[in-house]
Amino acid sequence: MIATASTVLKGGRVVTPDGITEATDVVLRAGRVEAVVPAGSASGDAVLDVTGMLVAPGMIDLQLNGGWGHDFTTDAASIAAVASHLPATGVTAFAPTIVTAPAGRRRAALDVMRTLPSTTTGTRAPAAVLGLHFEGPLLNPDRAGAHERTHIGLPQRSELDSWSRADGVAIVTIAPEMDGALALIGELTARGVVVAAGHTACSADDFAIARRAGMTMVTHLFNAMAPFEHRNPGPVGAALADAGVAASIICDGIHVDPVAVRMAWRALGASRTILVTDATAALGVDASTQRLAGVEITVSGDRLQTPDGRLAGSNLTLDRAVRNLIEFTGCSISDAIGTVTSNPASLLGLADRGTITAGAHADIVVLDEALMVHATIVGGVTSWER
Protein backbone atom coordinates (compact mmCIF):
# COMPACT_ATOMS: atom_id res chain seq x y z
CA MET A 1 0.00 0.00 0.00
CA ILE A 2 1.41 3.38 -1.03
CA ALA A 3 0.47 6.70 0.56
CA THR A 4 -2.52 8.27 -1.20
CA ALA A 5 -4.88 11.14 -0.55
CA SER A 6 -6.75 9.00 1.93
CA THR A 7 -6.57 5.43 3.16
CA VAL A 8 -9.18 3.45 5.08
CA LEU A 9 -8.30 0.61 7.42
CA LYS A 10 -11.54 -1.31 7.07
CA GLY A 11 -13.28 -3.40 9.69
CA GLY A 12 -10.60 -3.79 12.35
CA ARG A 13 -11.12 -3.60 16.11
CA VAL A 14 -9.32 -0.59 17.53
CA VAL A 15 -7.30 -0.96 20.73
CA THR A 16 -7.92 1.94 23.12
CA PRO A 17 -6.96 2.57 26.75
CA ASP A 18 -10.53 1.62 27.71
CA GLY A 19 -10.66 -1.65 25.80
CA ILE A 20 -11.17 -2.91 22.28
CA THR A 21 -13.90 -1.54 20.03
CA GLU A 22 -16.28 -3.38 17.78
CA ALA A 23 -15.54 -3.38 14.03
CA THR A 24 -14.39 0.08 13.01
CA ASP A 25 -13.04 2.02 10.02
CA VAL A 26 -9.99 4.23 10.53
CA VAL A 27 -9.41 6.96 7.95
CA LEU A 28 -5.86 8.22 7.35
CA ARG A 29 -4.97 11.36 5.43
CA ALA A 30 -1.76 13.38 5.09
CA GLY A 31 0.07 11.38 7.74
CA ARG A 32 -2.63 11.77 10.39
CA VAL A 33 -5.72 9.96 11.59
CA GLU A 34 -8.64 11.81 10.07
CA ALA A 35 -11.52 9.85 11.60
CA VAL A 36 -12.49 6.74 13.51
CA VAL A 37 -15.99 5.67 12.47
CA PRO A 38 -18.28 2.61 12.52
CA ALA A 39 -17.32 -0.15 10.08
CA GLY A 40 -18.67 0.32 6.58
CA SER A 41 -19.24 4.05 6.86
CA ALA A 42 -15.92 5.31 5.46
CA SER A 43 -14.55 5.52 1.93
CA GLY A 44 -11.11 6.41 0.68
CA ASP A 45 -8.71 6.35 -2.23
CA ALA A 46 -7.17 3.15 -0.89
CA VAL A 47 -8.63 0.47 1.35
CA LEU A 48 -6.80 -2.02 3.54
CA ASP A 49 -9.16 -4.73 4.73
CA VAL A 50 -8.20 -5.64 8.33
CA THR A 51 -11.45 -7.35 9.27
CA GLY A 52 -11.04 -9.54 12.33
CA MET A 53 -7.69 -7.99 13.27
CA LEU A 54 -6.64 -5.59 16.00
CA VAL A 55 -5.71 -2.06 15.01
CA ALA A 56 -3.41 -0.59 17.67
CA PRO A 57 -1.33 2.56 17.93
CA GLY A 58 2.24 2.10 16.73
CA MET A 59 4.61 0.90 19.45
CA ILE A 60 7.18 3.21 21.04
CA ASP A 61 10.51 1.91 22.43
CA LEU A 62 12.20 4.31 24.84
CA GLN A 63 15.36 2.24 25.29
CA LEU A 64 17.01 0.73 22.23
CA ASN A 65 20.80 0.48 21.92
CA GLY A 66 20.86 -0.77 18.35
CA GLY A 67 19.97 -3.78 16.25
CA TRP A 68 20.63 -5.71 13.05
CA GLY A 69 24.36 -5.63 13.75
CA HIS A 70 24.45 -1.88 14.55
CA ASP A 71 25.41 -0.28 17.87
CA PHE A 72 24.31 3.35 18.28
CA THR A 73 27.01 4.27 20.80
CA THR A 74 29.86 3.33 18.48
CA ASP A 75 28.10 4.32 15.24
CA ALA A 76 25.33 6.86 15.70
CA ALA A 77 24.92 7.10 11.93
CA SER A 78 23.36 3.63 12.07
CA ILE A 79 20.23 5.01 13.74
CA ALA A 80 18.59 5.45 10.33
CA ALA A 81 19.38 1.88 9.29
CA VAL A 82 17.84 0.42 12.44
CA ALA A 83 14.81 2.70 12.07
CA SER A 84 14.09 1.04 8.72
CA HIS A 85 13.96 -2.42 10.34
CA LEU A 86 11.89 -1.60 13.43
CA PRO A 87 8.41 -1.51 11.81
CA ALA A 88 8.67 -5.29 11.34
CA THR A 89 8.45 -5.51 15.14
CA GLY A 90 5.51 -3.09 15.41
CA VAL A 91 7.68 -0.15 16.48
CA THR A 92 6.83 3.16 14.80
CA ALA A 93 8.85 5.51 17.02
CA PHE A 94 11.82 5.12 19.36
CA ALA A 95 14.51 6.79 21.46
CA PRO A 96 17.97 5.64 20.31
CA THR A 97 20.00 4.97 23.44
CA ILE A 98 23.62 5.99 23.93
CA VAL A 99 25.20 4.22 26.86
CA THR A 100 28.08 5.47 29.02
CA ALA A 101 30.96 6.39 26.71
CA PRO A 102 33.39 9.23 25.97
CA ALA A 103 31.74 12.60 25.38
CA GLY A 104 32.54 12.45 21.68
CA ARG A 105 30.10 9.57 21.21
CA ARG A 106 27.24 11.65 22.57
CA ARG A 107 28.25 14.64 20.44
CA ALA A 108 28.26 12.39 17.38
CA ALA A 109 24.74 11.22 18.20
CA LEU A 110 23.51 14.80 18.55
CA ASP A 111 25.09 15.61 15.18
CA VAL A 112 23.16 12.71 13.63
CA MET A 113 19.92 13.95 15.16
CA ARG A 114 20.32 17.22 13.26
CA THR A 115 20.50 15.37 9.94
CA LEU A 116 17.58 12.96 10.36
CA PRO A 117 14.48 13.80 8.30
CA SER A 118 11.64 15.23 10.37
CA THR A 119 8.84 13.75 8.24
CA THR A 120 8.04 10.40 6.68
CA THR A 121 8.96 10.07 3.02
CA GLY A 122 8.96 7.27 0.46
CA THR A 123 6.95 4.08 0.28
CA ARG A 124 8.66 2.19 3.14
CA ALA A 125 8.75 4.64 6.01
CA PRO A 126 11.19 4.08 8.89
CA ALA A 127 10.27 4.38 12.54
CA ALA A 128 10.38 7.97 13.78
CA VAL A 129 13.20 9.08 16.08
CA LEU A 130 11.73 10.89 19.11
CA GLY A 131 15.04 12.01 20.60
CA LEU A 132 18.07 10.41 22.19
CA HIS A 133 18.16 8.54 25.47
CA PHE A 134 21.47 9.16 27.23
CA GLU A 135 21.84 6.27 29.65
CA GLY A 136 24.64 7.78 31.70
CA PRO A 137 27.34 8.78 32.18
CA LEU A 138 26.28 10.06 35.63
CA LEU A 139 25.62 6.59 37.07
CA ASN A 140 26.68 4.83 40.25
CA PRO A 141 29.86 2.90 39.38
CA ASP A 142 28.86 0.20 41.86
CA ARG A 143 25.71 -0.38 39.76
CA ALA A 144 27.30 0.03 36.34
CA GLY A 145 26.12 -3.27 34.92
CA ALA A 146 27.62 -3.61 31.43
CA HIS A 147 28.58 0.09 31.26
CA GLU A 148 32.29 0.92 31.20
CA ARG A 149 33.17 2.34 34.60
CA THR A 150 36.08 4.38 33.27
CA HIS A 151 33.65 6.76 31.53
CA ILE A 152 31.20 7.21 34.44
CA GLY A 153 30.98 10.69 35.92
CA LEU A 154 29.43 14.14 35.59
CA PRO A 155 29.96 15.52 32.07
CA GLN A 156 31.70 18.82 31.49
CA ARG A 157 29.62 21.99 31.59
CA SER A 158 30.38 22.64 27.91
CA GLU A 159 28.68 19.34 27.06
CA LEU A 160 25.74 19.65 29.43
CA ASP A 161 24.75 23.00 27.93
CA SER A 162 23.76 21.13 24.73
CA TRP A 163 21.49 18.63 26.46
CA SER A 164 17.95 19.79 25.74
CA ARG A 165 14.82 18.51 24.10
CA ALA A 166 15.23 21.11 21.37
CA ASP A 167 18.72 19.80 20.60
CA GLY A 168 17.55 16.18 20.38
CA VAL A 169 17.82 14.75 23.91
CA ALA A 170 14.56 13.18 25.09
CA ILE A 171 15.62 11.14 28.15
CA VAL A 172 18.63 11.07 30.46
CA THR A 173 19.16 8.27 32.99
CA ILE A 174 20.96 9.39 36.16
CA ALA A 175 21.82 7.89 39.54
CA PRO A 176 20.23 10.51 41.82
CA GLU A 177 22.62 9.90 44.72
CA MET A 178 25.71 10.98 42.74
CA ASP A 179 27.35 14.39 43.20
CA GLY A 180 25.81 16.95 40.87
CA ALA A 181 22.76 14.83 40.09
CA LEU A 182 20.08 16.95 41.73
CA ALA A 183 21.15 20.16 40.05
CA LEU A 184 21.33 18.36 36.72
CA ILE A 185 17.84 16.89 37.16
CA GLY A 186 16.40 20.36 37.66
CA GLU A 187 18.33 21.75 34.71
CA LEU A 188 17.32 19.04 32.30
CA THR A 189 13.69 19.04 33.36
CA ALA A 190 13.53 22.78 32.70
CA ARG A 191 14.77 22.09 29.16
CA GLY A 192 12.05 19.54 28.47
CA VAL A 193 14.17 16.42 29.02
CA VAL A 194 12.67 13.45 30.87
CA VAL A 195 14.98 12.41 33.71
CA ALA A 196 15.01 8.79 34.89
CA ALA A 197 16.66 7.10 37.85
CA GLY A 198 18.79 4.15 36.88
CA HIS A 199 22.01 2.28 37.61
CA THR A 200 21.54 3.48 41.15
CA ALA A 201 21.86 2.55 44.80
CA CYS A 202 19.85 5.55 45.98
CA SER A 203 17.91 5.48 49.21
CA ALA A 204 14.17 6.09 49.31
CA ASP A 205 14.97 9.57 50.66
CA ASP A 206 17.34 10.24 47.75
CA PHE A 207 14.60 9.09 45.40
CA ALA A 208 12.02 11.41 46.95
CA ILE A 209 14.38 14.39 46.69
CA ALA A 210 15.07 13.58 43.05
CA ARG A 211 11.35 13.35 42.38
CA ARG A 212 10.88 16.85 43.80
CA ALA A 213 13.66 18.05 41.53
CA GLY A 214 11.74 16.76 38.49
CA MET A 215 12.60 13.09 37.97
CA THR A 216 9.59 11.22 36.53
CA MET A 217 10.83 7.78 35.46
CA VAL A 218 12.85 4.74 36.49
CA THR A 219 15.01 2.97 33.90
CA HIS A 220 14.71 -0.84 33.70
CA LEU A 221 13.23 -1.44 37.14
CA PHE A 222 15.12 -4.03 39.22
CA ASN A 223 18.11 -4.17 36.88
CA ALA A 224 21.41 -2.45 37.80
CA MET A 225 19.98 -1.01 41.01
CA ALA A 226 20.05 -1.76 44.71
CA PRO A 227 17.59 -4.54 45.56
CA PHE A 228 14.51 -4.04 47.72
CA GLU A 229 14.87 -4.65 51.45
CA HIS A 230 12.04 -4.09 53.87
CA ARG A 231 14.16 -1.80 56.09
CA ASN A 232 15.97 -0.22 53.17
CA PRO A 233 13.49 -0.07 50.28
CA GLY A 234 15.89 1.74 47.95
CA PRO A 235 14.96 2.67 44.38
CA VAL A 236 12.75 -0.39 43.82
CA GLY A 237 10.58 0.18 46.86
CA ALA A 238 10.49 3.93 46.29
CA ALA A 239 9.36 3.49 42.68
CA LEU A 240 6.66 0.95 43.46
CA ALA A 241 5.32 3.09 46.31
CA ASP A 242 5.30 6.38 44.37
CA ALA A 243 1.95 6.87 42.63
CA GLY A 244 3.35 9.38 40.14
CA VAL A 245 6.50 7.85 38.71
CA ALA A 246 6.65 5.64 35.61
CA ALA A 247 8.95 2.61 35.47
CA SER A 248 10.28 0.77 32.46
CA ILE A 249 10.71 -3.00 32.53
CA ILE A 250 12.62 -5.35 30.24
CA CYS A 251 9.93 -8.02 29.94
CA ASP A 252 11.89 -10.93 28.51
CA GLY A 253 11.71 -13.27 31.50
CA ILE A 254 15.50 -13.06 31.85
CA HIS A 255 16.19 -9.57 33.12
CA VAL A 256 13.22 -9.81 35.49
CA ASP A 257 11.65 -13.04 36.68
CA PRO A 258 7.99 -13.36 35.64
CA VAL A 259 6.95 -13.36 39.32
CA ALA A 260 8.74 -10.03 39.83
CA VAL A 261 7.07 -8.67 36.69
CA ARG A 262 3.72 -9.71 38.13
CA MET A 263 4.55 -8.07 41.47
CA ALA A 264 5.59 -4.83 39.74
CA TRP A 265 2.45 -4.87 37.60
CA ARG A 266 0.25 -5.14 40.66
CA ALA A 267 2.02 -2.17 42.26
CA LEU A 268 2.54 0.05 39.21
CA GLY A 269 -0.72 -0.69 37.46
CA ALA A 270 -1.48 -0.25 33.80
CA SER A 271 -0.78 3.49 33.70
CA ARG A 272 2.76 3.54 35.18
CA THR A 273 4.35 0.56 33.43
CA ILE A 274 6.41 1.10 30.28
CA LEU A 275 7.90 -1.86 28.45
CA VAL A 276 11.29 -1.38 26.78
CA THR A 277 13.57 -3.79 24.98
CA ASP A 278 17.06 -2.52 25.89
CA ALA A 279 17.91 -4.32 22.65
CA THR A 280 21.46 -4.29 21.28
CA ALA A 281 23.18 -4.99 17.98
CA ALA A 282 22.19 -8.64 18.52
CA LEU A 283 18.56 -7.87 17.70
CA GLY A 284 17.60 -9.28 14.31
CA VAL A 285 20.86 -11.11 13.60
CA ASP A 286 22.14 -14.61 14.21
CA ALA A 287 25.54 -14.16 15.84
CA SER A 288 27.26 -15.55 18.90
CA THR A 289 28.99 -12.28 19.77
CA GLN A 290 28.19 -8.59 19.39
CA ARG A 291 29.31 -5.37 21.03
CA LEU A 292 27.58 -2.83 23.29
CA ALA A 293 29.68 0.34 23.08
CA GLY A 294 33.20 -0.99 23.62
CA VAL A 295 32.13 -4.11 25.52
CA GLU A 296 32.01 -7.53 23.87
CA ILE A 297 28.85 -9.46 24.65
CA THR A 298 28.12 -13.12 24.08
CA VAL A 299 24.74 -14.24 22.79
CA SER A 300 23.29 -17.51 24.00
CA GLY A 301 19.70 -17.81 22.90
CA ASP A 302 17.94 -14.82 24.44
CA ARG A 303 20.62 -14.19 27.08
CA LEU A 304 23.24 -11.54 26.35
CA GLN A 305 26.10 -11.07 28.80
CA THR A 306 29.60 -9.74 29.25
CA PRO A 307 32.54 -12.14 29.61
CA ASP A 308 32.24 -11.87 33.41
CA GLY A 309 28.54 -12.83 33.35
CA ARG A 310 26.77 -9.47 33.65
CA LEU A 311 23.58 -9.07 31.61
CA ALA A 312 24.19 -6.72 28.67
CA GLY A 313 20.95 -5.69 27.01
CA SER A 314 18.74 -8.04 25.01
CA ASN A 315 17.63 -9.22 21.59
CA LEU A 316 13.99 -8.72 22.61
CA THR A 317 11.41 -7.19 20.28
CA LEU A 318 8.74 -4.90 21.69
CA ASP A 319 5.84 -6.92 20.28
CA ARG A 320 7.21 -10.00 22.04
CA ALA A 321 7.52 -8.02 25.27
CA VAL A 322 3.80 -7.25 25.04
CA ARG A 323 2.93 -10.91 24.58
CA ASN A 324 5.20 -11.80 27.51
CA LEU A 325 3.49 -9.26 29.78
CA ILE A 326 0.10 -10.80 29.07
CA GLU A 327 1.50 -14.28 29.73
CA PHE A 328 3.26 -13.26 32.96
CA THR A 329 0.47 -11.14 34.48
CA GLY A 330 -2.80 -12.12 32.84
CA CYS A 331 -3.45 -8.47 32.01
CA SER A 332 -5.79 -7.40 29.22
CA ILE A 333 -4.63 -6.79 25.69
CA SER A 334 -5.53 -3.12 25.89
CA ASP A 335 -3.56 -2.64 29.11
CA ALA A 336 -0.54 -4.43 27.66
CA ILE A 337 -0.67 -2.36 24.46
CA GLY A 338 -0.86 0.80 26.57
CA THR A 339 2.55 0.07 28.09
CA VAL A 340 4.18 0.54 24.68
CA THR A 341 1.91 3.23 23.24
CA SER A 342 -0.01 5.71 25.37
CA ASN A 343 2.27 5.38 28.42
CA PRO A 344 5.59 6.22 26.72
CA ALA A 345 3.87 8.92 24.65
CA SER A 346 2.42 10.48 27.80
CA LEU A 347 5.79 10.38 29.56
CA LEU A 348 7.33 12.36 26.69
CA GLY A 349 4.37 14.74 26.53
CA LEU A 350 3.37 13.61 23.03
CA ALA A 351 -0.42 13.93 22.93
CA ASP A 352 -0.58 13.02 19.22
CA ARG A 353 1.24 9.68 19.53
CA GLY A 354 0.28 6.41 21.17
CA THR A 355 -3.39 6.81 20.29
CA ILE A 356 -5.77 6.28 17.39
CA THR A 357 -7.88 9.42 17.53
CA ALA A 358 -8.59 12.21 15.07
CA GLY A 359 -5.50 14.38 14.62
CA ALA A 360 -2.99 11.83 15.91
CA HIS A 361 0.00 10.65 13.91
CA ALA A 362 -1.05 7.87 11.55
CA ASP A 363 1.30 5.40 13.26
CA ILE A 364 -0.51 2.08 13.50
CA VAL A 365 0.26 -1.59 13.96
CA VAL A 366 -2.18 -4.26 12.78
CA LEU A 367 -2.07 -7.42 14.92
CA ASP A 368 -3.58 -10.85 14.42
CA GLU A 369 -5.34 -12.89 17.09
CA ALA A 370 -2.00 -14.11 18.47
CA LEU A 371 -0.77 -10.48 18.68
CA MET A 372 1.75 -11.08 15.91
CA VAL A 373 2.48 -8.08 13.69
CA HIS A 374 0.53 -8.26 10.43
CA ALA A 375 1.30 -4.75 9.12
CA THR A 376 2.86 -1.53 10.38
CA ILE A 377 1.98 1.95 9.17
CA VAL A 378 4.24 4.94 9.87
CA GLY A 379 2.95 8.41 9.06
CA GLY A 380 0.15 6.95 6.98
CA VAL A 381 2.57 4.84 4.90
CA THR A 382 2.61 1.05 5.13
CA SER A 383 6.16 0.39 6.20
CA TRP A 384 6.01 -3.38 6.68
CA GLU A 385 3.57 -6.18 5.82
CA ARG A 386 3.78 -9.86 6.65
270 inside domain = yes
What is the Rg, in whole angstroms, of the alpha carbon atoms belonging to the chain?
20
pTM above 0.85, yes or no: yes
Number of Cβ atoms within 10 Å of the Cβ of 131: 23
The count of structural domains within the chain is 2
φ and ψ at residue 4, rounded to 5 degrees: -130, -175
- 149-170 confidence digits (pLDDT tens): 999 999 999 999 999 999 999 9
Which one from 25, 206, 242, 278 is the annotated catalytic residue?
Answer: 278
In a domain, 285, yes or no: yes
Q: Which residues of 40-54 are buried (b: 16+ CB within 10 A; e: fewer)?
A: eebebeebbebeebb
163 lies in some domain? yes
287 and 164 in a single domain? The answer is yes
Same domain? 47 vs 92: no
Predicted confidence at residue 4, as pLDDT, reads 52
pLDDT at 152: 97
Domain limits for position 376: 7-55+360-385
Q: Residue 353 falls within a domain, yes or no?
A: no
Residues 168 and 249 in one domain: yes
CATH number of the domain to which 142 belongs: 3.20.20.140
**65-85 core/surface letters (b: 16 or more CB in 10 A; e: else):** bbbbbbbbbbbbebbbebbbb
Distance, C-alpha 116 to centroid of its chain:
19
d(CA 80, CA 89): 16
**How does strand 32-38 pair with strand 91-99?**
unpaired
What is the tens place of the pLDDT at every residue in 81-128? 999 999 999 999 999 999 999 999 999 999 999 998 765 545 579 999
DSSP 122-148: SSSPPPEE--EEEE-SS--GGG-TTS-
Q: Would you state the pLDDT for residue 8?
A: 95
Determine how many CB atoms are found less than 10 A away from the CB of residue 310: 15
The pLDDT of residue 74 is: 96
Q: Which amino acid is at 40?
A: G
Catalytic residue status for 75: no
* Residue 154 CB coordination number (10 Å): 16
DSSP letters for 322-360: HHHHHHHH---HHHHHHTTTHHHHHHTT-TTSS--STTS
Residue 232 lies in a domain: yes
Stretches in the chain below the pLDDT threshold 50: 1-3, 121
* Residue partners of 176: CB distance under 8 A and separation at least 6: 182, 185, 197, 200, 202, 206, 207, 209, 210, 215
The answer to whether residues 351 and 359 touch, using CB atoms and an 8 Å cutoff, is no
